[in-house]
Amino acid sequence: MKKYFKKISALLMAAIMVLSMCTAVFAATGDVPSEDDSAQVTINGLEAGVTIKAYQVVDGVYKPGNGFIGFDWTDLAKKSGKKDAPLFVEKDGTDILNISQTDLTDIVSYINKNNIAADETFKVEDNKELTVGTWLLLVSGGTKVYNPMIVSVYYATEDGTVTGGLLNASDKKWDLVGGVAYAKETDITIDKVANKDTAAHGEDVNFTITGVIPSYSSQYTTDVTYKITDTLTNLELKGTPVVKLAETEISGTDKYSFEKTETGFNIIFKSAYIKGLADLTDAERTVTVTYTATVTAAATTWNPAKNEAKVDYTNNPDGSTTYKETKTNTYTFDINGQFLKVDETGEKPLAGAKFTLYKDYDKTTKTVRNPIKTDVTTKGDATRGDGLIIFKGLAAGTYYLTETEAPASYTLNTTVYRITITPTYESDAAETGKKVLKSYKITIDELDKDGNIVKTTDIGDYTKEVTTINKRVEIQNTKVGQLPSTGGMGTYIFTIAGVVLMACAAGAFIISRKKSSEE
C-alpha cells in the first residue's frame, strides 16, 4: 500500500512539474516577437481629414519559435535578393535604412503606373498602428501639397535599435517602437486684390493675383499642374497680364502658356518648369499676376464688377488635383430718384432740363469744375419717370450737381448741390479677409453762392432689400418773366406803379418844357 501511495505521489509530483513547465513556456510565448506586432506611428504636420495610403517597403522576418530575426525588402521595393541592395548601411556609426530619393521615386512611379492598392489606408485622426517594418506614406485630400514620407516600426533594446539577430525571448528586454514622420508641405494659398473697392463705368481697375507654386519632390513622377483661372464679370480685360516669379517677370512657352477666354483668362504653368522649382523657398516660388480691366456698363450696385481667381494644382503623387479660389468686388452706385425737376408750384415734373455732374468745387472762384456726366430730364418716359435726374455707374465719393440748361420758357436754377455717396462694407461670410457691400447712404447738401451749406437732406440707407426710398430733393424752375408766388400780389403791383410814376414824370417834364419855351 505504501509503495502504491509512493507511486501515486511521484506521478502527482511529475504532473505538477510538467504543468509548471508548460506554464513557463506559455508565459514566455507572450514575449516572443511575432509578425502581428504593431505600434502606433506619429505623423506630424498634416491637416485634419486627409487620407494616408501606406505601402510597406521593408518587412520584419520571423522564425517560428524564435521570433524576430531581421528585416527584408518587400516585393514593392524591387530590391529583394539583390546583392548590391543591403538593407542597412552604416553612417556615423549608426545603421540606417539603405533607401534613397531615387528609390522612392521608382516605387511611387511603379505604384502609379500599375495602380497598386495601398497595404493600409487611414485618416490622420485614426491613430493607426502599423506592423514592424518601413512604410512609404502618400497623403491625399486636404488643401496642401505633401511630399511622400517614410516611417518605421521597429524593435529596440537597452542597447539600441534591433536591425537583425534573435531577440531574448526568455525575459522581455525589448520594446516595440512606432516611428515619427514629419510632413514636408506647401500650404497652397491664392489671394486676389483690387486697387479700388468702387469705380465708375468705364474706369480702369488694377488687379493682382498672388500664389505659391508648390515644391514637388521627385516622387511626383506624373505631370504636375499649377493653373490660374481668372473669371471677369462686368469687367473687360485690357492687354495681357504680367507674370512674375519672386518679383522677376517671366516669359516663354517653356514656363507657362496664356489663354484668353470668353470670361477671362488662364495661365497654365508647364510641369517641367514647376518641378524645376522644387528646391526653392516659398518666397522664391511666389508667383504674381497683374493686369488691368475696365468696369463695363453692365455693373450695378448689387451686381458689381466681380473678379474670381482660382488655382488648380496637383496635390497627390498619383496626379490628382484640387483647387482654391478667391474673389474681389468693385462696386458702382446710381443717382436715380433722389432729385426731381419741377415747376415753381412743385406739382408739375419738368422735361428738358439739362443737368451736369461735376467732380470738384473751387471754393476760391466758387464754381464747379471737372464735369463727369450730363443728363436731360424727360416726360412720359415709363422707364425713366417724369422729371427725374439720373446718373448711373458712379464710384463712391463726392459730386456736385447743377442745372446747366433750363427747360424752354423757364429760367435757369443755378443752385449747386453737393452729393456724397458713402458705402458700408461687412466681412464676407464665404471668404476670410474679404468684404462685401452691406449698404450705402446718399446725402445731399444745398449750397449757397459762397459754397456754404444751406440745407442737408439725408436720403437714407440703401440695402440689397431696400433699393427705393421715397425721399427726394425737388429742384424748381420758374417761367420766364414770372417770379415765384409768395401768397400775395408780390412785386407786380410795384412794377406797375413804378411804370405809371415814370410815365407821369415824363409827361410833367414835357409840359414844363413847353411852358418855358412859350414864355
- DSSP notation for 180-242: EEE--EE---EEEEES-SB--TT-EEEEEEEEE-----TT--S---EEEEEEEESEEEEEEEE
| DSSP calls for 245-289 | ETTEE---TTTEEEEE-SSEEEEEE-HHHHHTTTTS-TTTTEEEE
pLDDT by residue (tens digit) across 8-20?
Answer: 233 223 322 322 2
The pLDDT of residue 467 is above 70: yes
pLDDT by residue (tens digit) across 266-319?
Answer: 999 999 999 999 889 889 999 999 999 999 999 999 999 999 999 999 988 878
Burial (0-12, 13-18, 19+ Cβ within 10 Å), 63: exposed
Residue 254 has what pLDDT? Answer: 95
Mean pLDDT score, 400-409: 96
Q: Which three cell numbers stand for residue 19?
A: 504543468
Q: Which of 401, 370, 381, 380 is closest to 475 using CA atoms?
A: 401
pLDDT by residue (tens digit) across 87-129?
Answer: 877 777 777 788 888 888 888 888 888 989 999 999 988 989 9
Q: What are phi and psi of 206, to 5 degrees?
A: -100, 135
In the chain, helix, strand, coil percent, each to 5?
Answer: 15, 45, 40
Residue 484 DSSP code: P
Answer whether 146's CB lies under 8 Å from 46's CB: yes
Give the HSE-up count for residue 173: Cα atoms under 13 Å, Cβ half-sphere: 11
- The whole-angstrom separation of Cα 81 and Cα 79 is 6
Residue 164 DSSP code: B
Mean pLDDT score, 416-441: 94
pLDDT by residue (tens digit) across 347-387?
Answer: 999 999 999 999 999 989 999 999 999 999 999 888 888 99
| Residue scoring higher pLDDT (8 or 231) | 231
The percentage of residues in the chain with a pLDDT greater than 70, rounded to a whole number, is 83
How remote is the C-alpha of 112 from its chain's centroid? Answer: 32
